[in-house]
Amino acid sequence: MRIQCPFCGLRDWSEFSSLGDANARRPDGDAPAADFFDAVYLRGNPAGPHEELWYHAFGCRGWLRVARDTRTHEIFAVDMCGEVAAS
Amino acid sequence: MSTFLSGQPRRLKQGGLVDRGRPLSFSFDGKRYHGYVGDTLASALLANGVKLVGRSFKYHRPRGILTAGSEEPNALVELRAGARREPNTRATVVELFDGLEARSQNRWPSLTLDVGSINSMFSPLFVAGFYYKTFMWPAALWEKLYEPLIRRAAGLGRASGKVDPDHYEKAHAFCDVLVVGAGPAGLAASLAAGRSGARVILADEDFLLGGSLNGDRRRVGDLPGSKWARQVVAELESLPNARVMRRTTVFGAYDGNTFGAVERVSDHLPTPPPHQPRQRCWKIVAKRVVIAAGAIERPIVFGGNDRPGVMMASAARAYLHRHGVAVGERPVLFTASDDGWKTVLDLSRAGMDVRAIVDTRREISPMLSSAAKQARIPMLLDARVIATSGAHALNRVRVRRRDGGIEDIRADVLCVSGGWNPTIALTTHLGGRPRWSEALSAFFPDELPAAVVVGAARGSFTLAAALREGAEAGAEAARSTGHRTFAESVPEVDDELTGATPCWEVGGSKSKAFVDFQHDVTREDVALAAREGFSSVEHLKRYTTLGMGTDQGRTSNINGLAILASVTNRSIPEVGTTVFRPPYTPVSFGALAGLLRGKEFRPTRLTASHAWAAENGATFVEVGQWLRAQYFAQGGEDHWLQTVVREAKAVRQSVGVCDVSTLGKIDIQGADAATFLDRVYINTFSTLPVGKTRYGVMLREDGFVMDDGTTAHISPGHYVMSTTTVNAGKVMQHLEHARQVIWPELDVRIVSITEQWAQYAIAGPNARRLLERLLDDAIDISNAAFPYLACAEFSWRGIPARLFRVSFSGELAFELAVPARYGDATVRAIMAAGEAWNVVPYGTEALGVMRIEKGHVAGNELNGMTTAADLGFARMMSTKKDFIGRVLARRPGLVDADRPTLVGIKPVDRNERLHAGAHFLSIGAKAALANDQGYVTSVAFSPMLNHWIGLGLLARGPSRLGEHVRAYDPLRGGDTEVEIVSPVFFDPEGGRLKA
């Protein structure tokens, strides 16, 4: 599988490491423990499009937000995390 | 006058594509034979009249060559000798070379007299799934008898057990159009795409390209098919944009239009030429793919269908046309398809005496019957072969005629043709599901994105269709990758008959009828599986092992599921089919590993002082990918403990130097750098003044300790963080995640500088004196100007340098950092500057001894299961700020007072040795999990206390100082009474630190 890093270009997936669900955001510091528990431990396992975080460990070290179909590995979109948040 | 060569009894004097001007000699089971360049081992054996080539897996039945391709289930031989010996190689794909040595397998003492054939007598015991029902009682016999017996009987072939002397490569290739298979369809596709200028890769597993054209007497246009193939290949090889890969199996389809292929670079040579690899593993990325993988002929299941001399009809035809070998003098055909007739008509034309055509169908085309009549071949329609006989080779075929009568026909080869199965394996590697075509009586490949299947692989069995579909697909692929194609006419070929009516099995036979030849699965096994409830096609496969051999069931899957359908009263589409995983044919580990073998499996990272350490007698230890000096044995020392004790004593008495470059170093800068550090550490760093360093602990978001280290505030907004060696990468990832994903609004940047700076710890009462001599006036390091935990950046001898007053050993210590390219010179300068005080180099062992004496936690304690409170850092956790892990660290389970917490231990009997990993039990408590109170994490022999000491995690540890508990180590036979003490064994006031 190859991922189009916005900074480095199309790269083999072995340059990256994956963290999983991009929508499991860290709650604000004063949120209740239950919110933290959900964010840290609970994950869906969808068969289909999935937004997830990939770290370009052997490239620019950028964190990417990737929309990937978990059944076919087709990648629909790749954004740099910092940019997504800024927009 | 014989039509055969003397010396090769079944080789016709003329014909075939072998090079008769280049004879070869080879041996099989120790006997010498002759063949030609262009032979496979199988064709050469057949040419020499060798019919028996192996013994079957379970029943040790005599077996011969069934096919002429990589789908061969029977003729698995052992090739070569010594370290290059390889088992389970299909004789049908081995390219013959001079001096080739081959041996049959799975027989003892010999192929003709095999003791293992006694298994056949016990065959009722060895039916499918027998091992689920046996070897259970008595249980005591399992380890001593059953397992060793099974281990000896199991498996097929023997590995050499020696290191492979050859080397292997890996390579990448990119193209517009990948064409898999160089038969007529693939050649037509490559030509169309290649002529358009598209980058084309054509790959075929064979050494002679042309596929079915080489095994037949068809003409393409006005050329013999094999000649047309040669011409096309020559044209492709003349194109700069085309790459023709012979001997290359595309073994797998992977995501992103990536294909794995193995190129057998030197398999056809006695040894690889100098500097050439034995095999090369390719990763091919293609924009478009044309799969022209052909089709595989289907056997018919009938009694005695595995006897040597029973062969696929198309194989017999291939041996005739490609190798000039007539596999039998008195052939009989047993067919359910028109295609089988071509074989015996060709054999008859070559002078063989075809004894009969046995066709399962009631009616056949008049073209076929008139050809047979002309050749004077008796035809038996609506008839079945029900048995064969002959000890190690076929001599008779038993036929049941239409009228029910039984006829025995003397024959030495039985050509079988059950129809054709499209080779769809590659199309299922990514989850494609084949569909059943009633019209073809075959499974049809699923649609694939960016790939198209052509020719026999999609059920188009005529040569005309193959050429046409190939050309169209090649042109279309070229166009869709932006190239212009030209309208070309497809060469003319004769019509042909491709009718077939499947006959999956012949009933009423008393002898075993085989479905899967490689795994000895019979028709009765399929019925047994269904009776026992394994009626799903996936269960059938696993219960009977049908299709699980190295041939992936290519000659057995369809027959098996058709029989399953019949015994369970379902249709074939209802039963469905199993699918395939890569590799299509076996791939050697060598090819997959490429150059990543032995020491080269991982990179080795060396510190700047490595050469100097080696010169000074260092023994190195692997820490992650790094090599670190473990200890420096000096003359006369013959045990590492001796050396380590000397080093630690020398440091505490005078001064020593240790390379600490491998610890992670991260440069952190920005207006919000301080805030950022507050968010990742449990303690506060925004209060850290410029010029000071602080120890910090970092948690994971789940509240467990992730890493520890010191962070120095070098200049306003500029920090340098240290991490442990093994977690450097992980911490970097963690910080980047915090910076980019969690708090992207913070103005902070980080970069790894682990490799950019060499760093040395200089520790001991004379450390300052050494450094003052080394650094001259570059920096004032008096206790007043540079107190404990100070840090500074300065220039030394014209190079940038950093100094940190941190101490892992508990001694007066400094860490000096210089750009890595000066690391070697610097460590030598340190040693020179310290001569007056007998400076010693010390390694990770002495470093470990001293930190344990001081109760400093390290990797053994930061094991991912401990919390900050467990390690005695509860009070470091700030209550005034948010930080990663803060909330979940307060979960009841993580603040439970009964949790194992950090303590020190001393053996009550001071002469006893301690072992890390021992578990704590109360004295007198039974050694059971319920009584487990924690474990020992680190141990060392303490030169300061002159006995063994340790650190550990004990339930409610700090409240149990003075108590005696048991350190129980059943794995190594240890059982020691220990006293619980403070983890700081030496200089608890820390006076030496602050001197």
Question: Quick one: which of B544, B543, B533 has its CA closest to B567?
Answer: B533
Is B235 a residue whose pLDDT tops 90? yes
Q: Residue A55: list chain B partners with CB under 8 A.
A: 733, 736-737
- CB contact under 8 Å between A63 and B702, yes or no, is no
Q: Is the dihedral of CA B98, B99, B105, B109 positive or negative?
A: positive
Is A87 a residue whose pLDDT tops 70? no
* Buried-exposed string B840-871: b where 16+ CB fall within 10 A, e elsewhere: bbbbbbbbbbbbbbbbbbbbbbbeeebbbbbb
Mean pLDDT for B10-38 is 96
What pLDDT is attached to residue B449?
A: 78
- CB contacts under 8 A, B 695-754 vs A, are 701-702, 729, 732-733, 736-737, 740-742, 744-745
What pLDDT is attached to residue B833?
A: 98
- CB contact under 8 Å between B742 and A37, yes or no, is no
- CB contact under 8 Å between B733 and A17, yes or no, is yes
Answer whether B835 touches A (CB < 8 Å).
no
* pLDDT single digits (tens) A29-69: 899 999 999 999 999 999 999 999 999 999 999 999 999 99
Between chain A and chain B, how many beta carbons pairs sit less than 8 Å apart?
Answer: 57
What pLDDT is attached to residue A83?
A: 63
- CB contact under 8 Å between A36 and B740, yes or no, is no
Answer whether A40 touches B (CB < 8 Å).
yes
Give the single-character DSSP code of B875: G
Q: Residue A37: list chain B partners with CB under 8 A.
A: 888
Is B774 a residue whose pLDDT tops 90? yes
* pLDDT single digits (tens) B174-188: 999 999 999 999 999
The residue ranking higher by pLDDT, B444 or B326, is: B326
In B827-933, beta strands by DSSP E? 840-841, 900-907, 919-922
- CB contact under 8 Å between B886 and A29, yes or no, is yes
Is B122 a residue whose pLDDT tops 80? no
Q: Is the dihedral of CA B848, B851, B852, B856 positive or negative?
A: negative
- Number of domains into which chain A is organized: 1
Task: State how far residue B480 is from chain A, nearest Cα, in angstroms.
Answer: 20
> Mutate which of B887, B890, B894, B895 to disrupt the A interface (most A C-beta within 10 Å)?
B887
Please state the φ and ψ torsions of residue B203, each to the nearest 5 degrees: -125, 140
Which of A19, A36, A85 is opposite residue B887, by nearest beta carbon?
A36
Answer whether B891 touches A (CB < 8 Å).
yes
Is B379 a residue whose pLDDT tops 60? yes
Q: Residue A1: list chain B partners with CB under 8 A.
A: 255-256
- Give the number of other Cβ atoms within 10 Å of residue B489's Cβ: 7
pTM of the model: 0.88
- CB contact under 8 Å between A17 and B736, yes or no, is no
Question: pLDDT band for position B1 (50/70/90)?
Answer: low
Mean pLDDT for B673-701 is 98
- Give the number of other Cβ atoms within 10 Å of residue B285's Cβ: 17
* pLDDT single digits (tens) B137-167: 788 888 888 888 877 777 788 889 999 999 9
Which of B256, B733, B744 is opposite residue A85, by nearest beta carbon?
B744
By C-alpha distance, the chain A residue nearest B734 is A55
Residue A42 is part of a domain; what is its CATH number? 3.30.2270.10
Distances (CA, A) of B776 to B303, B761, B789, B795, B930: 96, 18, 21, 11, 61
- Give the number of other Cβ atoms within 10 Å of residue B480's Cβ: 14
* pLDDT single digits (tens) B701-714: 999 999 999 999 99
Answer whether B890 touches A (CB < 8 Å).
yes
What pLDDT is attached to residue B115?
A: 76
Question: Quick one: which of B560, B468, B570 has its CA closest to B505?
Answer: B560
- Residue B784 Cα to chain centre, angstroms: 60
Task: State how far residue B707 is from chain A, nearest Cα, in angstroms.
Answer: 18
By C-alpha distance, the chain A residue nearest B253 is A1
- CB contact under 8 Å between A53 and B737, yes or no, is yes
Asked whether the beta carbons of B316 and B331 are under 8 A apart, the reply is: yes
What pLDDT is attached to residue B148?
A: 84
Mean pLDDT for B254-275 is 95
- Residue B576 Cα to chain centre, angstroms: 29
Is B440 a residue whose pLDDT tops 90? no
Q: Crossing angle, helix B557-567 and helix B537-544, to 10 degrees?
A: 120
Stretch among B90-99, B116-125, B492-501, B816-825 having the lowest mean pLDDT: B116-125
What pLDDT is attached to residue B354?
A: 97
Q: Residue B886: list chain A partners with CB under 8 A.
A: 29
By C-alpha distance, the chain B residue nearest A37 is B888
What pLDDT is attached to residue B118?
A: 76
Q: Residue B747: list chain A partners with CB under 8 A.
A: none
- CB contacts under 8 A, A 49-78 vs B, are 53, 55, 57, 61-63, 71-73
Is B119 a residue whose pLDDT tops 80? no
Answer whether A23 touches B (CB < 8 Å).
no
Mean pLDDT for B572-583 is 93
Domain that holds residue A63: 2-86
The overall average pLDDT reported for chain B is 95
The residue ranking higher by pLDDT, B215 or B5, is: B215
> Mutate which of A1, A14, A40 to disrupt the B interface (most B C-beta within 10 Å)?
A40
> Mutate which of A12, A36, A53, A72 to disrupt the B interface (most B C-beta within 10 Å)?
A36
DSSP for B939-981, written as a single string: EEEETTTTEEEEEEEEETGGGGTT-EEEEEETTTTEEEEEEEE
Mean pLDDT for B118-141 is 78
What pLDDT is attached to residue B180?
A: 98
Which of B256, B740, B890 is opposite residue A82, by nearest beta carbon?
B740
